[in-house]
Amino acid sequence: MFFVLSKLLVYLIFPFTWVIILFAWYFLCKSPKRKRRLLIAAVAILFLFSNAWLLNLFAGIWEPEPKTIPAGKKYSCAIVLGGFVAADRNDSGYFTLASDRFIQGVKLYQTGAVDHILVSGGNGSLMKHAFRESKWAETQLLAMGVPQSGILIENDSRNTLENAAFSKRVLDSAGLKPPYVLVTSAFHMPRSLWCYKQEGMNVIPYPCNYFAGRGKFNITDLFPQAHVMDLWFVYIKELVGYCAYEVKAKFKR
């Protein structure tokens, strides 16, 4: 139930959804005073959530700094979280905008920083179908020259909580010792770390795939930009998800 609700309700936190609701209310409202307030609120949300400077400010606070592995340091495994692959209409995979997770995992292996790569990710869709992200990613790792002996997959998880729980089972079964290198997008790292710590796992954050917060200030950042609203959806979803996991954990105690 938690999984289904999280998928269905996530669109209610999209800022553009708020704007649509406010404008619909505006057109249905009869009171001139309330109509004015609704219009101001809708325009304010559009302006605030299309402002790149505010997004970069939040991202800089939310996301951890980039991590480097010291030369000569080696870990048993890099846990690469899913979310970088999508299924096409033929149930074949393709890389998405988060494919830097895959790139960094391969880089860690090829530079000798890790001995194994564990890809954690099954099918996070509400619609049941056979495609499994980690299975497809395995074929790409093999194509990149990573040997079968260096690849572990976890293909049952549907969300970050399950990523952590199921990764632990795979790593324990394989006898690989911590600490592990946790590879995921920078925006997703705070929630991921929380989940893995809940499982008692010793992981080292290795954030990648930065969307915002790393570039220099540009005066154009203050002007409205449509794509910024899409990026806010990513960060708001993470923040709400983090809080939801905290609340869920407290109810379990």
Same-domain pairing of 121 and 146 = yes
pLDDT at residue number 8: 59
Nearest to 120 by CA among 61, 161, 71, 65: 161
Residue 106 lies in a domain: yes
pLDDT at residue number 253: 61
Same-domain pairing of 232 and 185 = no
pLDDT at residue number 251: 74
User: Which domain, by its residues, includes 168?
Assistant: 78-208
Same-domain pairing of 82 and 57 = no
Using CA atoms, how far apart are residues 96 and 52, in angstroms rounded to an integer?
Answer: 22
Residue 235 lies in a domain: yes
CB–CB of 32/23 below 8 Å?
Answer: no
Pairing of strands 85-87, 93-95: antiparallel
Same-domain pairing of 110 and 190 = yes
Token pair for 159: 């969300």
CB–CB of 73/250 below 8 Å?
Answer: no
pLDDT in 10s for each residue of the chain, 253 residues: 555 555 556 677 788 889 999 999 999 999 999 999 999 999 999 999 999 999 999 999 999 999 999 988 999 999 999 999 988 888 889 999 999 999 999 999 999 999 999 999 987 565 566 788 999 999 999 999 999 999 999 999 989 999 999 999 999 999 999 999 999 999 999 999 999 999 999 999 999 999 998 988 899 999 999 999 999 999 999 998 898 888 877 776 6
Residue 110 lies in a domain: yes
Same-domain pairing of 203 and 87 = yes
Same-domain pairing of 149 and 47 = no
Whole-model pTM: value is 0.89
pLDDT at residue number 97: 93
pLDDT at residue number 77: 98
Residue 182 lies in a domain: yes
Using CA atoms, how far apart are residues 204 and 189, in angstroms rounded to an integer?
Answer: 11
Let me know if 188 is exposed, middle or buried by CB neighbors in 10 A (0-12, 13-18, 19+): buried
**Domain CATH number, residue 203:** 3.40.50.620
